């Protein structure tokens, strides 16, 4: 091969190499520029394939190494950003040492446990702020005694509270003890009267049916009422030694059921009519109805008592009597009015007595007037009632 051919060949090789180098440099520059714009590690990793496809093998190494470094740095940067965000999301500072963040995180967890025990924020304080332990219940303090950061204050608050209760019990004023006993005695009275009302109700209902049908014998009624604690045998005999005492007790009992509603001056005239009431079916009905009204009020008082206990977690408030009076005001007004109406009817029956006679007895004018008065002037009704009792016209 001649020297001139060799020179030409060498020149061609040099030109080819120079052209390839320029192409490689341009390709590397373009690919790297595109790679640097990307913030996605996966896209960076894909540029390695572009280098291998578009750049000569002898120039691929530095470009690939550069891209791999970029990929590594980007992955580490994103990992750090993700970690910092995770720290920030839970209230930690990523710039602080790990040991400090660990203590802060533990404190947050303890406060979260405390908040779950309290069922929300205490007195609108932030979850990381201090609690007012004196405002917490014994149950909450006991649970907080097992939470780090709250254990000692909770135990101390429980200890102080136990001492206060001990001292309060030791030096409780005598007046408080008297009030507590008064409330307890009143509660016992409410329960006993309710139980008595329930026990007497079936017999009262039976007697009322008998009175309405005209089949209730006076001795049987008196005996039953005596058994139920209503001494009709005494009430029917004003001359007996026990009359005044029993009447006064009955009046006091009715007044207690309807304080401010029924006056003694209204009950006393009614008591005097009982001997006359026992001589007629309508009179017997009134006596039975009056006791059922009293029983209804006893049941209303007991219902109010149960509601009060439920609202106070089974404890009797010191003002139990006031609470029950307040809650039974409506029933006292209604039942008191029913009693008052019956008292008026009883007095009218006493003033215009009627009663059963031997069938076929001819009615006299005065008795006819009594029936007419009891029928409120309704002559037809008066005649029907008189005939039921055995009279003829």
pLDDT digits (tens, 9 = 90+) for 6-15: 555 555 555 4
Classify 392 as helix, strand or coil: strand
* pTM score of the predicted model: 0.54
Q: Which pair of structure tokens corresponds to residue 80? A: 């750090």
Of the spans 12-26, 67-81, 127-141, which averages the highest pLDDT?
67-81
Q: Please say whether the beta carbons of 155 and 145 come within 8 A.
A: yes
Q: Is the pLDDT of residue 114 over 80?
A: no
Q: Specify the 3-state DSSP secondary structure of 362.
A: strand
pLDDT higher than threshold 90 for residue 182? no
254 vs 29, higher pLDDT: 254
The pLDDT, as a whole number, for residue 104 is 57
Residues of the chain with pLDDT > 70, as a percent, come to 72
Distance CA 22, CA 9 (A): 20
Cα–Cα distance measured from residue 110 to residue 247, given in angstroms and rounded to the nearest whole number: 71
Contacts 24+ apart (CB under 8 A), 317-326: 317/183, 318/176, 318/179, 318/180, 318/183, 319/183, 320/183, 320/186, 320/187, 321/182, 321/183, 321/186, 324/186, 324/190, 325/259
Q: Output 153 or 110, whichever has higher pLDDT.
A: 153
Q: Which band of pLDDT confidence, cut at 50, 70 and 90, is reported for residue 305?
A: very high
Are the C-beta atoms of residues 47 and 34 closer than 8 Å to each other? yes
pLDDT above 80 for 251: yes
Higher confidence at residue 87 or residue 75? 75
* pLDDT surpasses 90 at 334: yes
């Amino acid at each position: 091969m001649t020297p001139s051919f060799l020179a030409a060949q060498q020149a061609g090789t040099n030109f080819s190499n120079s052209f390839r180098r320029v192409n490689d440099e341009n390709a590397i520059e373009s690919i790297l520029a595109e790679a640097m714009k990307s913030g996605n590690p996966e896209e960076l990793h894909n540029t390695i394939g572009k280098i291998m496809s578009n750049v000569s093998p002898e120039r691929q190494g530095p470009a690939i190494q550069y891209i791999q470094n970029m990929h590594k740095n980007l992955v580490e940067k994103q990992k750090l950003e993700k970690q910092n965000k995770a720290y920030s999301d839970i209230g930690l500072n990523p710039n602080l040492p790990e040991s400090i963040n660990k203590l802060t995180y533990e404190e947050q967890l303890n406060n979260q446990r405390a908040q779950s025990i309290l069922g929300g924020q205490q007195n609108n304080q932030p979850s990381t702020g201090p609690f007012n332990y004196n405002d917490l219940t014994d149950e909450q303090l006991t649970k907080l005694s097992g939470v780090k950061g709250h254990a000692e204050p909770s135990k101390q608050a429980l200890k102080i509270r136990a001492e206060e209760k001990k001292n309060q019990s030791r030096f409780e004023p005598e007046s408080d003890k008297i009030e507590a006993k008064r409330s307890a005695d009143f509660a016992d009275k409410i329960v006993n009267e309710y139980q008595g009302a329930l026990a007497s109700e079936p017999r009262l209902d039976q007697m009322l049916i008998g009175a309405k049908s005209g089949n209730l014998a006076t001795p049987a009624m008196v005996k039953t009422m005596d058994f139920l604690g209503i001494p009709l045998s005494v009430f029917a005999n004003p001359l007996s030694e026990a009359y005044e005492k029993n009447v006064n007790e009955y009046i006091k009992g009715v007044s207690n059921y309807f304080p401010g509603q029924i006056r003694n001056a209204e009950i006393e005239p009614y008591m005097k009519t009982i001997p006359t009431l026992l001589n007629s079916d309508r009179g017997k009905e009134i006596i039975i109805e009056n006791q059922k009204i009293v029983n209804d009020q006893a049941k209303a008082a007991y219902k109010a008592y149960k509601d009060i206990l439920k609202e106070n977690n089974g404890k009797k408030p010191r003002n139990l009597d006031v609470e029950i009076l307040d809650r039974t005001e409506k029933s006292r007004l209604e039942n008191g009015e029913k009693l008052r109406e019956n008292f008026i009817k009883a007095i009218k029956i006493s003033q215009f007595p009627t009663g059963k006679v031997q069938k076929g007895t001819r009615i006299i004018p005065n008795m006819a007037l009594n029936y007419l008065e009891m029928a409120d002037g309704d002559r037809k009704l008066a005649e029907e009632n008189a005939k039921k009792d055995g009279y003829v016209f």
